[in-house]
Amino acid sequence: MFILAYLGIILALGLAYLTIDTIYSWYRLRHVPGPFSAGFSKWWLFKHTWNGTLYLESAEQCFKHGSLVRIGPNDLITNDPDILKRMGAPRSPYRRSEWYNALRVDRENILSERNEERHAMLRNKMAAGYAGKENPTLEQGIDDCIAKLVDLIERKYVSTVEEFKPLDFARKAQYLTLDVIAAVAFGGPFGFLEKDEDVFKYIETTEKTIPAMILCAAFPWLSILFQSPLLKFLMPKDTDVYGLGRIMGTAREVVHERLQPDAKDRMDMLGSFLRHNLSKEDAETEVMVQILAGSDTTAGSIRATMLHLLTNPPVLAKLLAEIQNAGVSDPIQDSEARKLPYLQAVIKEGLRIHPPVTGLQSKEVPPGGDTLNGYYVPAGTKIGSSAWGVFLDPGLWGPDSRVFRPERFLEGTPDEIRRKEIDIEGIFGYGRSSCLGKSVAVIELNKVFVQLLRKFEFTIVNPQQPWKSFSAGVFIVSDMWLRVTKREPPL
């Protein structure tokens, strides 16, 4: 009887603590609007993270309630670019939250590192390599990979009246970005385009891993569990034959070779990292992280922009006319692409209407709290970004914000156009959290549409379901089937 009474007391105290904690959590952010249940539990956040709708639902909540919305007991989200810039500014007191713990693979990296001093150190040592300042063959390497994509299509996927050869553009776009980032990072592609296959099942395994990773980001205790010694055997290892583990093993082999006494200095991204004294362990990790972070995002932008081009004939016709009249080189040079105003507007509009990164990337409110758009937000609160809330906001982009219309980047006063260009930069993040790989991604985007469209005509096989897409921080896309024919004459 005594034991039962003791257990009853413990249970009652536990329930009392849980009740008080729940009420306190609700109370401290009760003045911030949002879904009712979000004030008491993380069910709303879990539900939409699990089913891949968080990017859409969070945007709709912002449109409904305003620029700051509660989506969990201690979680807010914003679609205000000014708040996001404030949190990401170089001297901002905001810090990365536990959300970033889930991005740790094997060890801390530029994506997961929450220590500000170490994060700044990594950025400083890697910035020149990402910017291409020490890689004179960067553009040529990208040209070579795009040429392999063109060659692959010509050899295997050009349809005729007699023969239909469907192309899964979702896969080929990712083959391209994986080979580009490998060429930039390692000095040579992995061979996805050359072999026309998912080399060592990298895409297959990462597409299974990424949803779990984004769930761990939303629920940090899951990261602690999976990264614990108890379950570490489930994590990728450099001895794996397939997937991210294989990338880890390759990265370590390449770094080891570069550090041999008789090794020659290479003018590529890894060479730049090592010249700037990035440690062996950090170099191994960061080269591997480039592959994970740099391929999915750029592939997502290529797929989405191509889809919107193919479903908007007036836009496509205007872009083709600009390419034809410009008399650009083959392959087009980055410097030429930057001078084509409609191409640049198409690229920006593609990034805007379908932002490639949908993760919250939450920051933590500093000690003393902060007041944002009239709301006092106590210290320790996590504030995430709603990318779709920012870039589909009618208040920022006009009443046709959900329409693919590149002309919006060419309209208005110089100040209005400049404001749009500044806001679209938010696709790559702000300040300390801005994407180091932006330069590489921009060169790819400047080239790939011109090179494909000048040589081929593309038709969506099934307009009713042009692709299968699932959001897990980035978009996992498959079955984007296109019919390809040669453009006669080529542009």
Compute the distance between CA of residue 189 and CA of residue 198 in angstroms, rounded to an integer: 13
Least confident of 48-62, 64-78, 117-131, 244-258: 244-258
Query: What confidence tens digit (pLDDT) does each residue in 399-457 have?
Result: 999 999 999 999 999 999 999 999 999 999 988 888 988 999 999 999 999 999 999 99
Residue 386: predicted pLDDT: 96
Distance (Å, whole) CA 21 – CA 219: 18
pLDDT grade, residue 185 (50/70/90)?
Answer: confident
Q: Please check the confidence at residue 136 and state whether its pLDDT lies above 90.
A: no
Residue 366: both structure tokens together: 């500093």
d(CA 162, CA 182): 37
Statement: residue 360 has pLDDT above 60:
yes
Q: How far is residue 431's CA from residue 91's CA, in Å, rounded to a whole number?
A: 9
The answer to whether residues 474 and 296 touch, using CB atoms and an 8 Å cutoff, is yes
How much is the average pLDDT of 453-465? 97
d(CA 462, CA 479): 10
Distance CA 280, CA 403 (A): 47
Which band of pLDDT confidence, cut at 50, 70 and 90, is reported for residue 18?
A: low
What's the confidence (pLDDT) of residue 82?
95
DSSP code at position 434: S
Reply yes or no on whether the pLDDT at 306 is more than 60: yes
What's residue 319's pLDDT? 98
Complete domains list, the chain, with CATH: 31-486 (1.10.630.10)
Query: Average pLDDT, stretch 270-278?
Result: 91
Strand pairing class (475-478; 468-471):
antiparallel
Report the C-alpha gap between 214 and 240 in whole angstroms: 22
The alpha carbon torsion through 250, 253, 254, 260 (nearest 10 deg) reads: 180
- 8 pLDDT band, cuts 50/70/90, is low
Per-residue pLDDT, 237: 78
Secondary structure class of 212 (helix, strand, coil): helix
Residue 359 DSSP SS3: coil
Q: Which H helix or E strand runs over 72?
A: strand 68-72
| Cβ 139 vs Cβ 153: under 8 Å | no
pLDDT tens digits for 216-272? 888 888 877 666 665 566 677 777 888 878 888 888 888 888 989 888 888 888 899
The pLDDT value given to residue 232: 64
pLDDT value for 6: 60
Amino acid at 163: E
Annotated binding site for heme: 435
482 or 232: which leads in pLDDT: 482
d(CA 453, CA 300): 18
51 has a pLDDT exceeding 60: yes
**Cα 110 from Cα 273, distance rounded (Å):** 13
Query: What span, in angstroms and rounded, lies between the C-alpha atoms of 45 and 223?
Result: 16
Residues 227, 224: Cα–Cα separation, whole Å: 5
Q: Which residues contact 307 (CB under 8 A, 6 or more apart)?
A: 460, 466, 467, 480
Q: Please, what is the average pLDDT of the chain?
A: 91
The pLDDT value recorded for residue 470 is 96
**Cα–Cα distance, 321 to 310 (Å, whole number):** 15
Q: Check: CB of residue 34 under 8 Å from CB of residue 60.
A: no
Q: Report the alpha-carbon distance of residue 410 to residue 363 in Å, rounded.
A: 33
Return binding residues: 435
